Structures are given as C-alpha cells and as structure tokens.
Structure 1
Amino acid sequence: MTHHTVEKIGGTSMSRYQDVLHNIWLRPYKHPTLGETLYQRVFVVSAYAGMTNGLLEHKKSGEPGVYALFAEMDENRPWQDKLQEVLNSMLAVNADLFADDTMMNKRADQFIQERIQDVHECLEHLEVVCSFGHFQLDDHLHRVREMLSALGEAHSAFNSVQLLRSQDVNARFIDLTNWRSDEQLSLDDHIAQAFSDVDLSTEMPIVTGYTQCREGLMRTFDRGYSEMTFSKIATITGAREAVIHKEYHLSTADPMMVGDGKVHPIGQTNYDVADQLANLGMEAIHPRAAAGLRKQNILLRIKNTFEPEHSGTVIHSDYCSSTPKVEIIAGTRNVWALEIFDQDMVGDPSYSQRMNDLVLESGVRVLTKDFNANTVTFYLKGNKRRINRLMERVQQAYQQADIRVEKLAMVSAIGSDMKITGLLQKAAGALSDAGVNIRSVHQAMRQVDIMFLVSDNDYASAVKALHSKLIEQSDTWPDQKTA
C-alpha cells in the first residue's frame, strides 16, 4: 500500500468551486514521509449539482430529464429541448467559474458543446434505427443512460483541471468515459490502464466519476456509479485512505430538521451502520463500493467540505461503540407499503415466491418487509407509476387477494451497538408522547437498528422525538462528540 489518498467530491460541493479549490485542492496534504504536499492525492469528481437530474431524471421528484424523455419516444421529441436546457446550465457554470478568464471560458464551452453535440447526433440516429422493426429501443436504453451520465462528470472534471492549472497546480484530466473509443475494457482494466503512467508525486489526477466499462456500471449501481469508480481506484492503486467530501458532517440527525445546535458529528462508526444508512437512501457510501475498501482494510473518512479543519467521520471495519447507544436517527419519506392479504397463503410456504419475483422485476427498492400467517407487506421506495404498475401485476397474479397501497415514512434509530435493555420501549414511548402513531416496527436480533413505520405527515415529528429522547437526553452523549 502506498501513502496516497483517493478522494471523492460530491455534486453539491462541486458547485461551490471556490470552497473546493481553497478547502480541498489547495489545502496541503500531510504526507507521512514527504511532509506537506499538494500531490499524492487522486480526486474523483461528481457532476455539478442538478446536472445529472437534468440528464436522467430528478432523483427525488422523478421529474423527467433527457433520458426519461427520450425513452418515451414522444414524436414531439421533448428530449431535444431538455438537452439544450442542460447545455445552457453547463455554459452558465462555465461563465461563472471562468468569469475572469475569457480563454478558459471559451475552452470549457467548446469542450462540453462538442460532447453535447455528439450525444444529440447519436440519439437522433438511434431514433432512426429504432424506427425499423428489427431494432427495439429497450435494447439500447441502458447504453443511452450511461452515455448521458458521462456528460456531467466529464464537464466538471475538465473544468476542474483548467481551474487548478490556473493556480499552477499540475492537474491531469483522467477521462474514464471512454468517449469516441473503439476499445471496451473491464472496470478494473480500464482504471489500471488509466493510472499506469500517472506520477502521483508530481501530478494531481482529476477523474470522472463515471467509468465506461464492459460490465455497465449503471446496470448494477445506477446513480451510485461514482462511488464505485472511487472505491475501485482506491483498491487498484492501493490507497492508504479513501475520503468522501460532502456538504455536511455525518451527524446524529439532519441538523436542518432537528436543529444545528442539537446534533453531534459522528467521530467514528463502522460499515454496518453505513449499510443501514444506505438502505434508507442516505448513503455515506454505496454498500458494494464499501466492500472493496473493507477487504483491503482501507480507512474511509467522511469530511465536510466547508469545515476543512474538522477530522470528519472515520468508518472502520471493526469499530464498535465502547458504550451501547444510539448513534444516528435517520429515515426517509414517501415509503410505499404494499400489503397483500390472502387466506390461501396460510400453511403454503411457496405462496410468496412469485410475489417476490414481481417486486424484484419492478425496479423499486425494498426497504424491509413483514409477514404473518395470511398477510405480506413490502415497504418500498420508487415512483408512484412503478408502484401502481407493480400493484396491478400482483393483483393479476393473486386474483383472490386483497391488495392495498399506503404512503408512509420510515424512521430508524441506528448504532454499532444498541444492546440496551428497554430501548424499544423508550423509543416507542417517545413517539407516543409526541403524538406519533406507530404503524409497524422492525428490530433484528443483531440490534444495530430499529425501524419505525409512521404516517408520512409524522416524519419530522418522529425524527425530532427519537433524537431528543435517545440522543439529546442520553447519558452517553452530552460530554462527547464522537461515536
């Protein structure tokens, strides 16, 4: 293992380019043997905030982007206007970033305009090809999605290199998007080849978060592809530490909801806790991306871009809180409870096999599920259109069953060790005192999380109530700021 770091910068942070420049890129790295240096660091960058939403679809609202509009094959071709809209947003970023340098602004504009033009021509040609019966659009959509994703990261990475070079930093643009290449390598081979001649002692690689490869990153990881690129670079190059820069600390709860003065930054935790957060869609890191870091024992650190002096949160493989306690209150709204009741399932162990297959095929994400003698309930994340389609398919498969869907919210208490007598009772009491009705509760025997399903309207009240009772009023938290 060498002494370099591999660091990923999130999209919201990337949009604050001057903060990233001064708080991260121009802030010397304390190398174990070389002392302070700007080098010995690899940076994987995300697209600027909002760009990937425009290129694909909005991650939270589901508003269609270029990809979603193209997939509809509307004869009015609304994807063209959306693509121009994204380009205008990218050019606006360029104008702001390089306001004092006309030549750099022109170079940045030319780079992304050429890429957008390539995509525009490719999609037009694909429309023509798929107008023939021998070619089906669905066979090509995953490639379209990958191609569009590559635009955002290429834009931010290219700009970042120009910005750093203007500050006399020897930055190097490493474009893993495989743009206009006739060679297609595996993920590992593509990264290994890209870094084969990089001199980390004199160069600062700025790498696209998207990597084009034979496996197709988005088929498995979808919007988590940049974390997979980040993880693979760390493991293949043998980094000593992997760092993720976000716009906030990994804290005991969302400070915007609970109150900034009431939350504590988490100093240490483990990958098990990170997995529970990922299940809720609040990723410290994608679970599959974390697996490689764990196997090679590479330390993962989550840092706040805007507080560079803070050491951040260190995620270990073997960390366990010295005192059993709740470390984080987290959750998610817009959870769809799909409930299937059927008297015929009693005593039939194979009854739910087709049901599980239908949920898997639907493309929605399962947060958890519960069942008793005659009822199965799936708690799902996905847009309403997919949920409705899934409900129809389940009803067709189980025509005698009573099926209903209800929108709820999930709130979880999470910790590396929550083996605390009476914890469930205390948590339930806190929710009851706050007037929150518990619709369902889940606690596994490993006791690293407790999940409460509540009304969607009660989400904020539930988070505040659990944080107040289990963390703010806990004897294990007042005098310490780390887990």
Structure 2
Amino acid sequence: MKVLKFGGTSVANADNISKVIKILEKESKKHNIAVVVSALGGTTDMLMKTGELATKKDKQYLEVYEEVSNRYISLVKDLISDQKRTDVLNEVNGLLLDLKQLLQGLYLINEFSNKTIDKIVSFGELLSSYIISEILQQTLKSSTLKDSRELIITDSTFTNAIVKTKETTTNISTFFKKNKNKVVVLPGFVSKNGNGDTTTLGRGGSDYTAALIASAVKADILEIWTDVSGMYTANPKLVKQAFPIREISYEEAMELSHFGAKVLYPPTVQPALQKNIPILIKNTFAPTEEGTLITKKNKNKTLPVKGISHIENIALLTLEGNGMVGIPGFSKRLFSALSRNRINVVLITQASSEHSICVGIYSADAKKAKHVVDEEFVYEISKKKIKPLLVEEGLAIVAVVGDNMKSHQGISGRMFRALGQNNVNVRAIAQGASERNISAVIASKDIKKALTVLHNQFFEKQVKTLNLFIVGVGNVGAILLDQIRKQQQHLNTNLLLNVRVVGISNSKKMLFDEEGIDLNSWKAQLQKGKKRTHQLFFETVKKYNLSNSIFVDVTANEDVANTYKDYLKESISVVACNKIACSSKYSDYRELKELSRKYNASFLFETNVGAGLPVINTLNNLINSGDRITSIQAVLSGSLNFIFNNFNDECSFHDIVKQAQEEGYTEPDPRIDLSGIDVARKILILAREAGFKIDLKAIKNQSFLPKASLKAKTIDEFYKTLKTEALHFSKLYSSAKSNDCQLKYVAEFNEGKASVGLQEINKEHPFYNLKGKDNIVLFFTERYAEQPLIIKGAGAGAQVTASGLFGDIITLGRN
C-alpha cells in the first residue's frame, strides 16, 4: 500500500487538481492508496484572517470569507459533472454556512481562542478533501472519503495538538484492514481530542497525517507531492545550477529541512522514519521526473556533500564577559531563559575559553531575547561580570550537509576557502561531532553569492564564472566584447572559465543582465538602456553582489578612475587600461594597492604600459622573485613611434600626425601623445611598480614641440601650429639623418630619477630598428646587469589593447 500526500500548491485550483486526479488514477491501477490532501494553497492563511478580522469587528471578514467560498464553489462548478453538481454544492454550502456562523459568533463575542482557531482553519482541509473525493469518484468508483478526525486522536493542545499514538495507530490500522476501496481520500492537518473537539497538528500537519497513516498500515512508501521535483542541492530560485537529489538518507533530509529545505518538515515525518518507510518527494506538475527518495541508508558514497541549504532572518546573540570563565551554570541559565519564553535556538557555538557563548535565533524573537536574557543576568551585568546581551541582526545561516563528509578530509577547508575567496564574511561557525553538517552565520545580503560559490565548489565541474561590468564600449571596448564573444566556448572548455558580461556602459547609457548580456546584440540593447551616472553604475554592481565580479575600465576618464576605490572596498576586482589612477598622486596609487590587498580584490592594469605587451607582469615577476631594478630604458608610445618612423623629408610632420590620429594610434586629442605626458605617466607607473616612491612632477619632460604648439588651446589650433612650425620639425629630422640616427621618443629611469624626451638613436642601439607602432622596454636589474631583459612588440592599437585587457581578465579567472 502507498500513502500519497498532496500539498496546498498541488490542489490550489481546478487545473492542479485535474493533474492530481490523473496521478491517482494511474497509481490506483497498481496499488491501494491512501491520499492525504491539504487545503487549497493559501486558504489556511485566509481562514485565519477571517477570524482575526471578525474578532476585531472588522466587517471585511465577510469579503475574505466570500473569497474563500468562491474558490471552493468554483472547483465544484469546474470539475463536478452536471448530475452530481447539485448534491455536492449542497454539501459544500452546508460546510461554508457552518464556517460563516462561527465567524459571526466571533464577531459578536470577540474571543478568538486556540480552540476556535482550530475549528475555523480545519474547514480548508475538510472542504478540499470532500470535493476531491467527489471528483475522483466520477472516474474511479472504488474510492471513498474518510474524515481523519475519526482516526487521529490527540490531547487538547489546540493549534499544535499532541497525538495519542497508540489509540491513533489502532484506529488507522483497523479502518484500513476493513476498507475495500482502492483509494481513500483523507483531510490532512485535522484531528480531534477525547471530547470530540476538532484539533489541528500544527506546522506540517498534513505531512504528519500522512506519516501517521503510513506508519500504522506499514506502507511500502510515503510519497509527498509538491511543486518541485524533490529536494534540491540548493534553493533553485537562488542557484540556477541546482538539481534534484536522487537519493538521500533520513538524517541528511532532516538536516537540510532544518536549514530551510521546505519540502519536508522533519518532526511530521518522524512516524515514517521510525518504521524505516521510504519517503519519495515528487512533483505534481512533472510526475514523470524521479524526485528524491529518502531512505535509511545513503547508497551514494561518491558525493561527500548532498546539499546546501540556508535559513534567512537570523539574529546572533552573544553573551560574553570575564565573569563567565570557569563558572558553571551560565549556559544552563541562558538556554533556560530562552526556553521558558519559547524562543527557539537554531545554532550554538562556544569558544573553549568559555569567555563567550553565541546562539542563533530567528530575528522575530530578537527583541524578546534581549529583554529576557538581560533580565536573567541583571546581577552579573550590574557587577560588570558580563556584558549586556549583544544582538546582531541582518544575518542568515548557510549549511553544507552530507553523511559522507566525515570520511572526506578538507570539506570545511573547501567551504570556508570558497566563501573567503568571494569575501563572504563568516560571523559564527557550528559543526556537530557527526560531521554531517557544517553551518556558518553570514550577512543576509551575501546569501545568494554564498550558495552559488558553495554549489560550484561541491557540485559542479569546477568552471569559474567571471561577472564583468565594462565601462567604455567605444573602439577598444567594442573589440574586447567581440573577443570575449568569440572565445567564450574555448575558455569554458579549456580553462574552465565562464566569462559573462553582466553590465556595460558608455558615457550616456548603461545596460545590465544578471544572466549575461547577449554579446551578439549588445549595441541595440544598450541604446534602450537606462541613463547612467558613475554612482548609479556602481550602486547597481554593488546591488547584484555577484561572485567574482570584475569592473573593467576601458576609458581615459578621470572620474571613472576615481571610482576604483569604491569597487575595491566592495571586494570587486578592477581591470583598467586607464592610466590616470596609477599615475595620480603617489598616496592615491598606494591606497588602491592597499585596498586591493585588504579586500582580496585584484587591481590589474597591464595595458597601462605597452598595451598588450607583458611589461608590468614581467616587472612584477622580477621584483617578486627578489631582483631589483637599477634602470629602465623604453620607447613606450606606439603613436610617437609610428609618427617618427614615418616622418621624413617627403611628407610633412602635420600630415603624419593627422594620419596617426585617423588610424587610431593617437588619442582623440593628439596633444596628449605629442606633449610626452602619456609617456611620462607610463615610466612613472613602471618606476612605482619597481618599488620607487615617485610622482609625475618629478619626471623631467624634455618636449620637442615648439612653444606655439604647446600653447595651442584647441586641437585645430594645434594642427595649424604643426604647419606654421614645419621648419622646426624638419630640422629635427635633418639633424638625425645627418648623424645617421633615428628619432625615438625615449623614457628613462635610473636609480630613482626619470625623464622623457626625443633622442637621436644610433645604429648600435636596440631602439634603432624599432618599426611601426612597436614598443620596447629594457630592464636593467641586479641579475640583468650587462645584458638587459628586453620586451618588444606592438604597443598601440585597439586590438592589442583589448587583448591586454582580456589577458588581465583571464589572469583573474585563473588565480
């Protein structure tokens, strides 16, 4: 024999009940069945509301009553055939009339006792079970209705009655031995006391009804039908990758249920557990899916962790003080005070020093807990032996559960490492000696992130998801997005990286999608995006609170650079090609470095120098391996190198600069490149990364531009000076040519001093044959004293700059 229980969502409306009927028709062909049904979803709360309103003499109770009535009457009209409808409606209307009279009595006497509560809320199950039995009898004649109140006998603790097990078991066993029908429909949740008064079984009461029946008849299986396909590895509403657990032990199921897995309420299924009756969680709306089978033994030994669950709305109570150390009885008094006031303790942890005890409770009880505990220890507080109870709210508990955790080393290490790497702060920890459960108290705002990273750690192929927020989607930014689009599958397959662009922005609009923006149509989507500000973009990134978040700056904007510290403080890594932050005041540069370390968020800016060339990375490797930089010589401007490589006596300096701008080698304002400030910033960054304290004003800038060009107030004026001062530039070229040299704009750093300027480079120098827009860097170190370490290659251009940014992103993903 099988016992099937259908919850409120499964019988919420006519469509759902039709699905239930099909399931029962199919099952009845193979088995005798006891069917326990709940009230229509939400009805119990509505019935409670009618009683509360009537007690307050609020005539709105009649409106809520009518809403309840209409739901049940609609079921009859929708699902009962014409020939039976009148009789069924008469019975339903009779029950509804009884309910209405009870409510009218409440309206008059204003006393909503627990006994009356049980009478009123019982109508939900009594009505649903009657209607469903009548619907079922239309197609399955061998079915009947049995009132659970005739079987389940309790004490008189109304709203949460205690079952008289022996009498109840005898009643159920006797009834089913005599029963000749294939299917028996019973209302869940309801029972009666020895005086014949209606009682109810409290939270999870319908599950309890089903478990009592399964235990009494020694059922082959207890099936609990709900709106999900079993118990999941994590809450599927928060963790998209979560999946149903096929098999799980009773102990694992109870641990997960205790920590928020709402498909099962452990106390109510205890009768089935005691008789080792398997429990199967099934989905009414996907009946062919396997669901979760709960049995005595865990047959799956491969996965140490079976599930990750959580409880929200937690408050942490801390009782501490030197007066507790070595004095027995503090714990007893604390828990007794909480127990006397019916405050449930969810989590306990105590340091071996005995200096403090932490307990987790539900936030709803926090205010009362503060009052009763301080009252209990009022003497010790007055003598300053202990401190007043500390209450912290806005917390949640996340728990990792599995029978096999105790036989696998390092589970707790993996758990806390995953949380720590994603900057989820742990406030308290609890682990039982059975090692079946490891629980951690964290901030409520971090729940989704915590569940996601833990699920990835224990259940998924170790694919790391990077969530990118990119500001600046012009030339370089657009190319970066295209590179990401083309390489997504490769990165997923070969590097186990899922690179997902969650937010993008230009100077006017911003676009976000937590599931990842479609990179095939981002331009059209961005046009429909929201108006952006730096602050609004930051606040949105912060609100998403995603694991492995990376802010990518593909601008040259000072205001954007000024936001880096805000991101780092939120443990959001920063990748930037914008040189302003690292070349600003030395104190600001150091602050960013320190924030990166403090908040475990990377700050990478490889493209600040040499675009896609590994200049900064190589420099960092030298320093980290114990080498010391003595001097640096470099050509660091791809745009200036392009200009001087193409400038000759056949074309004007003006035309070459114009060409460089048109081909994207210079900034939109070419004065930035030709003034040497850009090169000065780059050598400054290298000097700082080499460990030297230096500011931009300390760098000697030997400009090759004439005074007229330097004083030009607009770009157009600047270009005019390039024509009027053509002789000046011709002389620079002629001098180099006469000396058999090449003109190169060189940056130099030597023992703390730096300079930039145009130089004539002879044939023996490594810079002489530098072509096109290439950059070159020579590192002289204690190890590379005579022959420098040379890095050479394309140092400008949108493609290589985007590649450099992409490289930093991949570096973060692999760390």
Q: Same fold (TM over 0.5)?
A: yes
Q: Deviation per CA, 1:8-54, whole angstroms, max 9, x where unpaired?
A: 111111122122122x112235xxxxxx44x5000011111111222
| CA drift at 1:387 | 3.0
Change in 2 beyond 3 A, CA 1:20/1:90: farther
| CA drift at 1:457 | 0.9
- Which one has more relative contact order, counting CA pairs under 8 Å at least 6 apart? 1
Amino acid paired to 2:39: A
2:356 paired residue number:
375
2:171 paired residue number:
193
> Which SS does the other structure have where 1:352 is aligned?
helix
1:455 paired residue number:
443
> Which SS does the other structure have where 1:413 is aligned?
strand
The share of aligned pairs that are identical, in percent, is 21
Structure 1: distance between partners of 2:78 and 2:319: 58
Change in 2 beyond 3 A, CA 1:433/1:156: same
In structure 1, runs of 5+ residues without a counterpart are 30-35, 57-64, 131-136, 476-483
The answer to whether the 8 A contact 2:278-2:295 is kept is yes
2:202 paired residue number:
222
* 1:270 correspondence with 2:249: yes
> Which SS does the other structure have where 2:413 is aligned?
helix
Change in 2 beyond 3 A, CA 1:263/1:281: closer
1:174 paired residue number:
146
> Which SS does the other structure have where 2:447 is aligned?
helix
| CA drift at 1:247 | 1.0
Q: Deviation per CA, 1:289-345, whole angstroms, max 9, x where unpaired?
A: 333223322222111222222332211112253225111111121112222334432
> Which SS does the other structure have where 1:99 is aligned?
helix
Amino acid paired to 1:171: S
* 1:14 correspondence with 2:11: yes
Amino acid paired to 2:427: R
Structure 1: distance between partners of 2:462 and 2:95: 54
The answer to whether the 8 A contact 1:336-1:406 is kept is yes
Change in 2 beyond 3 A, CA 1:411/1:301: same
Query: Structure 2 matches for 1:236-385, cutoff 5 A?
Result: 236-249=216-229, 250-259=231-240, 262-372=241-351, 373-381=354-362, 384=364
Q: Normalising by structure 1, what TM-score?
A: 0.80
In structure 2, runs of 5+ residues without a counterpart are 157-162, 382-386, 464-815
Change in 2 beyond 3 A, CA 1:194/1:295: closer
Structure 2: distance between partners of 1:206 and 1:391: 47
1:478 paired residue number:
none
The answer to whether the 8 A contact 1:439-1:453 is kept is yes
Change in 2 beyond 3 A, CA 1:124/1:263: same
Change in 2 beyond 3 A, CA 1:149/1:194: farther
Q: 1:444 aligns with which of 419, 432, 436?
A: 432
Q: Which has the larger radius of gyration?
A: 2
1:412 paired residue number:
399
1:61 paired residue number:
none
Q: Deviation per CA, 1:58-95, whole angstroms, max 9, x where unpaired?
A: xxxxxxx345567xx64xx24x6346514413422431
* 1:81 correspondence with 2:60: yes
| CA drift at 1:112 | 4.5
| CA drift at 1:125 | 4.9
Structure 1: distance between partners of 2:138 and 2:417: 58
| CA drift at 1:151 | 1.5
Q: Normalising by structure 2, what TM-score?
A: 0.49
* 1:153 correspondence with 2:131: no
Structure 2: distance between partners of 1:223 and 1:410: 21
2:27 paired residue number:
28
Structure 2: distance between partners of 1:188 and 1:206: 22
Structure 2: distance between partners of 1:392 and 1:150: 36
Amino acid paired to 2:432: A
Query: Structure 2 matches for 1:395-406, cutoff 5 A?
Result: 395-399=374-378, 400=381, 401-403=387-389, 404-406=391-393
The answer to whether the 8 A contact 2:172-2:213 is kept is no
Structure 2: distance between partners of 1:391 and 1:236: 44
Q: Identify the range of structure 1 (304-313 vs 155-164) with the bigger mean alpha-carbon deviation.
A: 304-313
2:35 paired residue number:
43
Structure 2: distance between partners of 1:333 and 1:266: 22
The answer to whether the 8 A contact 1:320-1:417 is kept is no
Structure 2: distance between partners of 1:67 and 1:111: 22
Change in 2 beyond 3 A, CA 1:28/1:120: closer
